[in-house]
Amino acid sequence: MATKILCVEDEILLLADISEELQDAGYDVLTATNGKEAIEILKYETVDLVLCDIMMPLIDGPTTLKLVRERLPQHDEIPFIFLTAKATREDILAGKKMGVDDYLTKPIDYDLLLATVETRLQQVHRIQETNESRLKRIYSALKEEHHNKDPLSVALIAKSHKFILPIERALNELGCLVEFIPENDLATRKDVVERNDLCFLVYSKIVHYFISGMAKTKTTHGRGKMVLMCNDTVDKSLKKALVELGIGQTIDYPYPPVEIFKIILTATQNK
């Protein structure tokens, strides 16, 4: 899957030039002409990096960065690079305090642009690989310590198998016994929670009714083993209500592997 970059720039010709350079380098590119458009895109799209002009109509670059960091936590770890015609010391300090990762000055040096993008993406990739490698080593050590125990049985419940394929592959690598269950089968698989050590459920109306039904029938066995994978439609109050119904914990989109591995580690220790 190609790396996806969101480019936010109100100068249409410059936006087209930057997009072309990035596409020629093999990146998928999404575009926006102001911060308002960018935020709408980021509500529904997963990107790997954001290039953002500072001076824009409607919502400028610094405000865009602030709103993304505050309201879209699923994008906390993506690099954010400002494009600016002037980058004074004060501008740079203010941006750094808000969490911007780098600056590129106009007129754009495209060789420098591509080098900066590649460097920032490599840094994120190294951090992710390090975290996942560390957690896998810990999990392997725990499996060795508990070698007499059966592997964890994990159910993945979603509308479509494609939604959770990366998670399924990771769990299989860890030695878990993984089963995918279409959410429509929940009506005939009411014992799915009881029969598995962990159940990851991608939130939907069907999943919501399933959880509510367990609460109404006062089903308690294994309810703490459910992990709800939340999308943007699940706000804080709804999460709280679902936890009170019996969900053990929640994970926000894009479902960071590190968080999933932590849950697996805890379940292994308690098995």
Walk me through the domains of the chain, giving residue ranges and CATH numbers. 4-127 (3.40.50.2300), 147-270 (3.40.50.2300)
Mean pLDDT of 245-265: 75
Report yes or no on whether pTM surpasses 0.75.
no
Contacts with 73 (C-beta within 8 Å, 6 or more apart), sequence order: 252
pLDDT band at 139 (very low <50, low <70, confident <90, very high): low
What is the pLDDT, as a whole number, of residue 180? 92
Contacts of 132 (CB under 8 A, 6+ apart): 257, 258, 261
DSSP state of 108: P
* pLDDT for res 242: 73
What is the mean pLDDT of the segment spanning 175-194? 85
Is residue 50 pLDDT above 80, yes or no? yes
Query: What are the pLDDT digits (tens) for 101-131?
Result: 788 888 888 998 999 899 888 887 777 677 6
Q: Which of 50-54, 164-168, 253-257 has the highest mean predicted lDDT (pLDDT)?
A: 50-54
- Mean per-residue pLDDT over the chain, rounded: 80
Report percent pLDDT > 90 for the chain.
18
Decide if 79 contacts 102 (C-beta within 8 A). yes
pLDDT of 147 strictly over 70 = no
* pLDDT at residue number 97: 66
Going by pLDDT thresholds of 50, 70 and 90, the confidence category of residue 202 is confident
Q: How confident is the model at residue 18 (pLDDT cuts 50, 70, 90)?
A: very high
pLDDT at 125: 77
Q: Token pair of 264, please?
A: 């697996």
Which pLDDT score, from 0 to 100, does residue 233 have?
A: 66
Residues 71-77: what's their mean pLDDT? 73
| C-beta separation of 133 from 245 below 8 A | no
pLDDT of 249 strictly over 90: no
Is the pLDDT score of 157 beyond 80? yes
pLDDT of 221 higher than 50: no
pLDDT at 132: 66
What is the pLDDT, as a whole number, of residue 30?
94
Task: Check if the beta carbon of residue 211 is closer than 8 Å to that of residue 247.
Answer: yes
Helix H or strand E segment including 173: helix 165-173
pLDDT of residue 16 exceeding 90: yes
Maximum mean pLDDT: which of 1-5, 62-66, 143-147, 222-226: 62-66
Higher pLDDT, residue 54 or 133: 54
